[in-house]
Amino acid sequence: MKNIFKKIGIFFLLLVTACDLDGDLENPNQVSVTGADVDLIMNNIQLNFADFFHSAAGSVDQLVRMQAMTGGYRYQTAFNPSSLNNLWDLAYRNVLISNQIMQPLAAAKGLTTHVAVGKILEAYTYLTLVDLFGDVPQAEALQAASGNFNPAATTGSNVYAYAIQLLTDARTELAKTGSDAGGALGRDIFYGGSRANWTALANSLELKAWINISMIPSRAAEANAKIAGFVNLSTGAAVANLVDTEAENFRYKYGTATVPAGSRHPWYEQYYGISPGTAGGYLNNYYLHEVFGKWDPADPVNVDKVVQDPRWRYYFYRQVGSIDVNESKFDPNAIFCGAPPPHYTAWGGGVFCVFEPGFFGRDHGDGSGTPPDGAAMTCAGAYPAGGKIDLNPITNLKFNSSAKRGDGTNGAGIQPIFMSWFTDFTRAELMARAGQPAIAKTILATAIGNSITQIKNIVTAGGQTLTVGVTASTTNYQAAVATLYDAASIKMDVIGKEYWISLFGNGIEAYNMYRRTSAPRNLQPTVQISSDPYFRSMVYPAIFANLNSSAVQKNALVSNKVFWDNNPDNLN
């Protein structure tokens, strides 16, 4: 009997030691960390940076009335915390964490362009997060590997300081030459590896940051001294390498492939459906109205008196030439305009629901359901969405044609992240602020001219040109602006409005300017009167507010200003 147990015992011992359990720990499906490739990670940073920009710009462009705010009647209900999760994901879990992995790998190999580009994109991301949310995790962010699952938010001013340092460090890397510069950045979706262009961008972003900081009285002197390092505050001339030529435009360029999804401009995917008439989403009526041209303030509905802006035919595509509800091509129920609410009459902006010739977007804060109006709505056009230019006359043509997949440049649009005319408008703003209205006026004309020319060039490069009969005159338009400028008591209002018009596709700069200068004034109010304050910053994403114990969601019923927002104005 003992013998039996002994035999059994030995047998079991053999069994327990026989099986190898070590072979299953490495994931056979994925690339191991030791196989990391800096170029592949850099691709991820650049692509997700473009998506982050789009997501951030798309969140705030409703606040500055570029796209229509339709998620609710009030700011509080229009911005759902969970709708911001994706933005947070793109920023932290893609751009920033990938940078954290990529930069040391690249530095170890002496790849200075990789390091610098990583730092610049990291800086832009942090600056934008502060501009949108205020205090955000930075010092404690991205530390999950050392056990911090609840990173506390860093004050906005400290995040700004960190970002400015990143830009400084990036310039140091870019200043290296010869063998110190290391290997080139082979796949650079933005600048093709041009170190000079990246340097210009680093300077422009730092300038942008200091202008915001300069709004804080206690830091104005420090900021102005920094600003003077980029722009001569007496003449308005650039004194550093800024993004101020067409070649330096910082933009992401989309492709035209159906697969993989996301290759096309997201607005194109939205407005140019596979079947005609299935456009979705709305542009803001007021933006359509203001971009269309310079209206006679005394007669804001008379099309004949408009000095047309040459850009509107690039920005928008009207599917209908006139809002005629008896037109059978779209459902008569699609466009239902009641009487404008009384406070719209008081506002006097001249637009409610629809306006001729055939513009149909949505009013600010119209949270009502979606009627079957996809065949009638005004779509995003050739710039920046890569859609169709509007070649239709503004005479009363009932129906143009429905937007559909394949139209225009088939989605090969751009993200205007930082264009050269942004620098021009910034210089004009600085001159107006410095009490130099005449210089500001000159720079303003340059800015408008550059904007129109370069937008036209981008669309032309895509193979679309305006025909003779429908091309508005840039000179006439500049003259109309000059007249308004001369008449304006606050010059910044005119500069701001023109900058805002030029910023289609980039709500971030418009949102910053609006909070900084209150320009453009007199934006379209929400359709329903509400006592809620304007969103001086966004509510935090649900993923941050609900899963991070260091986070406290903002009270959307009070004004939550970011650190540099010192503007006492009650924005609407």
Partner 1 sequence: MKKFLLLCFSFVFVLTAWAQERVISGKVTAQEDASALPGVNVVLKGTTNGTVTDADGNFKLNIPSAGGALVFSFIGLQTNEVVIGDRSVIDVALGLDIQQLTEVVVTAQGITRDQKSLGYAQTTITSTLLANKPETDVARALQGRTPGLQILNSSGMAGSSSKISIRGNSSITGINSPLWVVNGVPISTDQNDINGQGQNNFVDGNIAPSRFLDIDPNNIESISVLRGLSATTLYGSQGRNGVILVTTKTGSSKGSKNKFDGSLTQSYFTVKAVIPEFQNKWANGFDGAYGEFYSNWGNVMDGTPQRFNHPYYEHRLMFPEFPEFQTAAATLLPGQTIPGYIPTPAPNNVKDFFRTGSSATTSLSLGASSEYGSLNFSYSHLNETGFVQHNGVKRDNISLGGTAKLTNRLTLTNVFNFARTDFQTPPTAAGDASNTFGGGPSIFANLFFTPRNIDLMNWPYEDKVTKGSVYYRNTKGITNPRWIEQNARQTSVTNRFFSSTNFNYKLADWINVSYRLGLDTYSDFQTYYNNKSGDAGFSANLTPGAYRTATGISTIQDHSVLVNLNKDISSDLNISGVLGYNYRQNDFRQEGLESLGQVVFGLQEHRNFTSTLPRTWRGDQLNYQTKSAIQGVFVDANLGYKNMLYVGLAARNDWASVLEKDNRSQFYPSGSIAFLPTAAFPDFASAVLDFLKIRAAYGSSANFGSPYNTRPYLTLNTQTRVDGTGNVVSSALPSLLANPNLKPELLTEAEFGIEAGMFDNKLKLNASYYNRVAKDQIIQRTLDYSTGFSSTFINAGSISNKGIELSVTVTPIKSNNWRWDITGNYTKNVSKVESLPDGSKSILVAGFSDLGNFAIEGQPLNVIQGTYVPKAPDGQLLINSTGSYEISSDVAVIADPNPKWFGSLLTNLSYKSISFGMQWDYVSGGQIFSYSAATMVGRGVSRDLQDFDPTLPLILPGVIEQKDGSGNVTGYTPNTIPLTTAGVFFNNTIVGGSADDRGVYDASRIRFREVSLSYTLPQAWVSKLKLTGINISAVGNNLWFSAINAPKYARADFDRTASGSGNGAGFDYLGGPSARRYGVNVKINF
**Which positions from 291 through 330 interact with partner 1, judged by CB under 8 A?**
326, 328, 330
In the set 58, 118, 134, 137, which binds partner 1 (CB under 8 A)?
A: 137
Residue 177 three-state SS:
coil
Cα 248 from Cα 200, distance rounded (Å): 7
Give the integer Cα–Cα distance in Å for 474 and 308: 9
Select the span of 38-46, 161-169, 304-312, 490-498 touching partner 1 (CB under 8 A): 38-46
Q: How far is CA 536 from CA 131, 134, 367, 446, 539, in A?
A: 9, 9, 20, 31, 10
Between CA 76 and CA 392 the distance in angstroms is: 39
Which residues within the stretch 238-257 sit at the binding site for partner 1 (CB under 8 A)? 252-257
Binding to partner 1 by CB under 8 A, coded x per residue (else -) over 329-358, reads: -xxxxx------------------------
Reduced to 3 states (helix: H, G, I; strand: E, B; else coil), residue 197 is helix
Cα–Cα distance between 135 and 149 in angstroms, integer?
17
Q: What is the per-residue DSSP string for 482-493?
A: HHHHHH-SSHHH
Question: Both tokens of residue 557?
Answer: 């019923």
- 100 makes contact with partner 1 (CB under 8 A): yes
By CB under 8 A, tell whether 528 contacts partner 1: yes
155: contact with partner 1 by CB under 8 A: no
Record the tokens describing residue 248, joined without a space. Answer: 């330096």
Site for partner 1 contains 529 (CB under 8 A): yes
| 105 interacts with partner 1 by CB under 8 A | no
User: Least distance (Å) from partner 1 to the CB of residue 479?
Assistant: 35
In degrees and rounded to multiples of 5, residue 415 shows phi and psi of -105, 115
What does R_g of the chain's alpha carbons equal in angstroms?
27
Binding to partner 1 (CB under 8 A) within 375-434 occurs at: 375, 412, 414
Looking at beta carbons only, is 142 or 513 nearer to partner 1?
A: 142
Sole binder of partner 1 in the list 6, 10, 82, 343 (CB under 8 A): 82
Q: Three-state SS for 255?
A: coil
Q: Identify which of residues 138 and 474 has a Cβ nearer to partner 1 in the complex.
A: 138
User: What is the number of residues in the chain?
Assistant: 572
Spatial distance between the Cα atoms of 137 and 92, rounded to a whole number of angstroms: 9
571 contacts partner 1 (rule: CB under 8 A):
no
Q: Which is nearer to partner 1, 241 or 548 (CB)?
A: 548
Residues 61-80 interacting with partner 1 (rule: CB under 8 A): 72-74, 76-77, 80
How far apart CA 24 and CA 38 sit, in angstroms, is: 27
Structure tokens at 422: 């942004």
Is residue 428 classed exposed, middle or buried when 0-12, 13-18 and 19+ CB atoms within 10 A define those classes?
Answer: buried
- In angstroms, what is the minimal distance from the CB of 542 to partner 1? 4
Which of 342, 348, 558, 570 binds partner 1 (CB under 8 A)? It is 558
Q: Considering the complex, what minimum distance in angstroms separates the CB of residue 136 from partner 1? A: 7
Residues 481-520 that bind partner 1 (CB under 8 A): none
Stretch that binds partner 1, among 387-395, 449-457, 517-525, 535-543 (CB under 8 A): 535-543
Q: Is 24 in the site for partner 1 (CB under 8 A)?
A: yes
The single residue among 26, 298, 435, 467 that binds partner 1, judged by CB under 8 A, is 26
Size, binding site for partner 1 by CB under 8 A: 118
